[in-house]
Homo-oligomer: A and B are copies of this chain.
Amino acid sequence: MNQVATTTAERILDAAEHLFAENGIGNTSLRQITAAASVNLAAIHYHFRSKDGLIEALLLRRLAEANRVRLEQLDAAESAAHPPALEKVMHAFVGPVVDLGKSPRGTHFARMMARVHTEREGLMVEILQRHFPEMVRRFKQAFRRAAPGLPPEEILWRIHFSVGLLMWSLQSSRHLEAFSDGRVRQSNPAALTRRLVSFLSAGFRAPLES
């Protein structure tokens, strides 16, 4: 359990995670990263081949574990009731990702992932399809069962909305602060998960528009 990263590769990953989260992907240069990590510029290319390779390594480093927890909680939801409760499925979907924010580094990761989702849409889709098709498949199925009566296309729209709101809420704290004149701040992960599950489950159950 290292508090301080030891290897060069890890120092690069930590620095990149932080800077990507803070300033976005496109606005962060490899030089900024190597400076923050106190390593040589060439080390990034040696260890990760390219900037995209670095992004992929960052995603795999923590998303694999978060997705494992997601599926574990989904298993529990599906064992508890048939069909599984929508709130439980939604909680399994958003909770483990929001919970990354319990550790400072996890916060950086979550915000970085949201950046990749919006700034590098194509790359994100590619990585999900390559490394986590099982997670995608299982949740599609679970949402379909938990919200019977909705046409398949509608289910996909609402999952799409749920992913989007999750990413937005991970990334954009400044909007809420500015919008509330500084009165409302990013709350803790548990509170955010509750808000998201409540809002999204209700949205998922919305009547079909006439």
Chain A residues close to B by CB (< 8 Å): 24-27, 115, 117-119, 121-122, 124-125, 128-129, 136, 153, 156-161, 163-165, 167-169, 171-172, 174-176, 178-180, 183-184, 194-195, 197-209
Contacts and interface: CB of A to CB of B under 8 A. Distances in A.
Contacts of A121: 172, 174-175
B153 A184 contact: yes
Given A119-B24, A202-B205, A169 B175 contact: no
Given A164-B164, A194-B209, A209-B198, A119 B119 contact: yes
Nearest to A196: B161
Copies in the complex: 2
A155 to B, nearest CB: 9
A168 B164 contact: yes
A159 B169 CA distance: 12
B118 A171 contact: yes
A174 B121 CA distance: 7
A59 to B, nearest CB: 15
A27 B122 CA distance: 14
A161 B119 contact: no
20 contacts: A26-B26, A117-B175, A118-B119, A118-B171, A121-B175, A125-B175, A156-B184, A157-B176, A160-B169, A160-B175, A160-B179, A161-B165, A161-B168, A161-B195, A163-B179, A164-B164, A165-B165, A195-B209, A198-B209, A200-B203
A203 B197 CA distance: 10
A198 B206 contact: yes
A202 B198 contact: no
Contacts of A161: 165, 168-169, 195, 199
Given A164-B165, A169-B164, A199-B158, A174 B122 contact: yes
Nearest to A122: B174
A47 to B, nearest CB: 24
B160 A125 contact: no
